[in-house]
Amino acid sequence: MEEIYETNQLYMKHLTRYDAPMVCRFYTRNVQEFALYEPLSYENARNINYHQTMLDYEDEYFKDNDMCRYYLFRKDNPFEIVGTVSFRNISQSYYKCATLGYKIDKDHRRKGYALEAIERGMMIMDEELHLHRIEATVMPVNVASSTLLEKIGFEREGLMRDKFKLNGKWEDHYLYAYVMPWNQ
């Protein structure tokens, strides 16, 4: 996989520990919103050492094609992160599957960035890793995320009871999947 890709509106970049200050600003701006859907504490959001460690982890897995997170930048402002798209648990064995994750800055939602980044990311997973299936999990209260996935062509396969513990409470999640029609 490449370290930088382009869409109509965005640059998608793999970042390293040296980009931690920028990543820290992104999470600090959005901690309240992101904490609703992921295990993110206020302390970690604002901790540059935490982000350096996470970027080191992501970089190691990126090199082995086991995981990739691309940070999203508008082409007209390539120094401010507006979101991320990630593919983790990448299995290139007989599963040929990955788990999709994404988030958009609170001030940059509803501009098509997530749609563009996910579609480009799925092309990468298909063309470069020849994956067959992409999965995503969404909390039932996150209607915008469900709508986005369905627009792309993901199908809801079921409800996973008590899937993740967030803010001290076990939360149900819908399981969505997209099966690459050309990789049958």
Q: Which residue has the tokens 């609170």?
A: 106
pTM above 0.85, yes or no: yes
Residue 131 neighbours by CB distance under 10 Å: 22
Given this model, what pLDDT does residue 167 score?
Answer: 83
Determine the topology of domain 4-179 in CATH.
Aminopeptidase (3.40.630)
- Distance of CA 123 to CAs 9, 10, 96, Å? 16, 15, 14
Six token digits for residue 60: 């190691």
DSSP label at 28?
A: H
Q: How would you label 43-53 residue by residue, b for 16+ Cβ within 10 Å and e otherwise?
A: ebbebeebbbe
Residue 162 neighbours by CB distance under 10 Å: 10
Given this model, what pLDDT does residue 28 score?
Answer: 96
Q: Which residues of the chain are modeled with pLDDT < 50?
A: none
User: How far is Cα 41 from Cα 118, in angstroms, rounded to an integer?
Assistant: 26
The amino acid sitting at 164 is F
Given this model, what pLDDT does residue 184 score?
Answer: 52
Residue 147: phi, psi to the nearest 5? -60, -45
Given this model, what pLDDT does residue 31 score?
Answer: 94
Given this model, what pLDDT does residue 39 score?
Answer: 85
